Each structure stands twice: as structure tokens, then as C-alpha cells.
Amino acid sequence: MIAEKIGFLGLGSMGAPMARNLLNSGLAVTVYNRTRTHAETLSLDGAEIADTPAGAIVEGGIAITMLAHDAALEAVTLGPDGILEKLGKGGLHISMSTVSPETSKKLAALHAANGSLFLSAPVFGRPEAAAAKKLWICQSGSGEAKQRAEAILDILGQGIHDFGDDPGAANVVKLSGNFMILAAIESMAEAQALAEKNGIDRAALASFFGQTIFSCPIYQNYGRTLAERAYEPAGFKLALGMKDVRLVRDVAEAAMVAMPLADLLHARLLTSLAKKRGNLDWTAIELVTAEDAALRSMTAAN
């Protein structure tokens, strides 16, 4: 039995089911979310509710953050009533957000100076995978942080993959994976447009490839979503996809790595945002392809 006092900060579509799984495993969890109503739904599962980030944790305890972007992560860590000073000596911050590797390195250094540990542990999986404890977790950081976090991460995911001591390494892996997923979405969108223009059913095409040469969850699940244009409700909002692609391009530029596909995906996302599709699922970049191919009117409802 894990006796640690856990504070879980960030209860969006991913964070809420993750926090619920910890509660259902019998752990003592205090939750914080900027919008309090999201936290209140977890009180039925036994969560305590904090009014501030610092209020969600105890000195020397564990803080888990699952937030939308770098600014939110820095705000709950370093801002007024943030967790950094409260966590203190012997504390552990498990950052599961998709953020810049530089942000993780910065926070790791600040935690070390404060006597606490920091572990990057971003995840792969949609909200339904989070609810089913089927997330794939990447981690990087000190051995001490990994050892302490292991039992908790085992509750949340189906596997933990280690990428060394550099706290930013797991974030690079996460960004690389999200880039590959979005590139696959773009290629499927173009292939489905090609098929549809030649009289082939989109769903039949997606089903065929998902069962044969592209028999894996990314092509099966996203292929079906694209074929059905099931972009609401969003499992991962298009606006957040743009955030990730911006981070990919920033990391690539810093490392002097040309990524022309990332540039194309940035353009697709930017056009989609201009068409006010930011709250749709990120697979909705397909609508731009469909419009370019005259398969869908540009004046159709978003």
C-alpha cells in the first residue's frame, strides 16, 4: 500500500481519470484545478479539494501535475501559492504534462535547489486510455525520483519506458511521438481524400489498412475517426496540437534539425485555427484537406 500523500493538479480530460484511478486504488489524493467544479466531481470518489496549488500537497509529499502547457505548469509550480516551496525537502514533483524540455530542466534545477525531486513522466494515450489505466509513460530524471514514483506510475499506465537522467529527455520523446501521430493523421487524411475522389468509401479504406499493413492503434483509431469525421467531442483539442507542433519546431531549431513535415503540419493547424476549429479534435486538420480537394464546402459548418 502506498502511504504517500498525493496532490494531483490539473483535472482536464486526461487528469481527471488519472486522479480517479489513484483514488480508486485506495490512495489519499487531494486535487486542485483552476476551475473548481472540475475538482468537485472527484469528491464523490473520495478526493479532498484544495483552493490553491500549495494547498493540494504536504511537505515532503508527492505532487502530480497534468496541465495543458508550459505556462500553466510554471504557474502552479512557481506562482503565488505554488508547490515548489511547500513541497520542500524530500518532496517529489511528477510532471506528466506535454511541455518543453527546457521547462523541465528549469523546474528540475529549482526543485533540486529546494531539496525536492523532479521527474518528467509524459504519457501517450487518449482520455479513454487514461481511464482504463492503459497509458504508455515515458520518464526521465534521477534514479531516486524514478524509484519513488514507480508504484504510482504503475497504477496509471500499462508500461513505463525510461530515457535516462536528463529531465528534458522524456519531453523530447513525447514531442517526437506527437509529431509522428499528427504526421500519420495528415497522411491518412490525404489518402482518404484520394480514395473518396475516386469513388472509394472512406470507412472501407480505413478498415482495410487498419486490419492489414497498418494494423496498429494509431491507424485503426485515428483512421476510423477521420473516416467518420468524428471531431467532437475532442479527445485532444486542435489548439493543443498547435502548441505541441510549436514546441517540436522550437526544439528542432535549437538542435538544428530540419523538419519539413512539421512545417506542413504547422500550416494545417494554423489554417484550422483561422477557421475557428481550435476546440475540435486535432484530427480535424483533415477538413482542410477535404476543402482543398473540393470534397467539402469551405462554407460548411465547422
User: Across the chain, how many H-helices and E-strands are there?
Assistant: 13, 9
- DSSP class of 281: B
Question: Which grid cell is 245?
Answer: 507542433
174 is catalytic: yes
Taking CA atoms, 109 is separated from 49, 102, 112, in Å, by 29, 11, 5
Q: How far apart are the first and last CA of the chain?
A: 48
- 104-124 in b/e form (b: 16+ CB < 10 A) is bbbbbebbeebebbbbbbbbb
Question: Which grid cell is 133?
Answer: 489505466
Question: Which grid cell is 45?
Answer: 470518489
d(CA 156, CA 137): 9
Residue partners of 224: CB distance under 8 A and separation at least 6: 203, 206, 207, 210, 230
Which residue type does 43 have? S
Q: Which of 86, 174, 237, 243 is catalytic?
A: 174
Q: Which residues are catalytic?
A: 174
